[in-house]
Amino acid sequence: MWNEAIPDRSTQQALKRKAILRAAATIFSRQGSHGATLEDVAASLGVSKAALYRYVLNKNDLILACQEEALEIADRALTRGEDEGTDALEKIRIGLTLYLVAMMEEMGVPALILEENALHGDEAERTYEKRDAYEIRMRRLVAEGQADGSIVAVEPKVAVFMLLGSIHWVAKWYRPEGAWSPEDVAEGIVGLATRALDTRPAAALPAMPDTTTH
């Protein structure tokens, strides 16, 4: 009854692992996976480098786990987009917006940009496949939008690359300390990027809090 709040051991473990992923994602995202040391990650959590190894197999495993987490968030977000959107463009808009917000909340970073040779090992193959699957899913939505009249005629691949570029780039410039909330940023950037595909683009776009520091 009253020990509901006391998490058992395995929950503790999971929480700590989650915290490590979060810290790692932030650092990987900024410095690149090769430029980030486990020492960096550990220091940002106030623990020793060796302590990480109770929660993570090795650096590669950590990178992989971050990427997997991001992909799952992306997938879940897109699924909700498909459920809630009325046309394909709206599905994409919702999917990407939720992705950015969820990443910020759960991982502390808007997106995870990895170098080409960041992942290796058998597990990595499967992760790359998931990433490809996500892109294909997006392309299908673009094609769907062209069928339902919500999206203009463009090569779907280019459309998706353009969207993902805009989205992922947020990791390069967004600072949580700034004046914009995660929602501001997500709606602002996704609203703008999807306008490129919109067959009936609005004249005005969501306003964002003014700031001189950004």
Residue appearing with tokens 């950037």: 189
Q: Tell me the C-alpha distance between 191 and 193, whole Å.
A: 6
Q: How far is the CB of 187 from DNA (least distance, A)?
A: 36
The yes or no reply on residue 16 touching DNA (CB under 7 A) is yes
Q: Does 53 engage in binding with DNA (CB under 7 A)?
A: yes
Binding mask 34-73 for a copy of itself (x = CB under 8 A): xx--------------------------------------
Q: Contact, 37 vs 120, CB < 8 A?
A: no
- Contact pick of 19, 43, 51, 154 for DNA (by CB under 7 A): 51
Fill in the DSSP letter of residue 104: I
- For position 80 contacting a copy of itself by CB under 8 A, the verdict is no
Look at the alpha carbons of 115, 93, 184, 211 in this order and tell me if their dihedral is positive or negative: positive
By the rule CB under 7 A, 4 interacts with DNA = no
Between CA 95 and CA 158 the distance in angstroms is 18
Given candidates 17, 18, 30, 60, which one binds DNA under the rule CB under 7 A? 60
Residues 6+ apart with CB under 8 A from 67: 112, 114, 119, 127, 131
Dist CA 172 CA 136 (whole Å): 25
Residues 6+ apart with CB under 8 A from 44: 23, 26, 27
- Give 116 or 177: the residue with its C-beta nearer to a copy of itself: 116
Residues lying near a copy of itself in the complex (CB under 8 A) are found at 30-35, 113, 115-118, 152-155, 157-159, 161-162, 164-170, 172-173, 188-189, 192-199, 201, 203-205, 207-208, 210-211, 214
Residues lying near DNA in the complex (CB under 7 A) are found at 2, 9, 12-13, 16, 36-39, 47-51, 53-54, 58-60
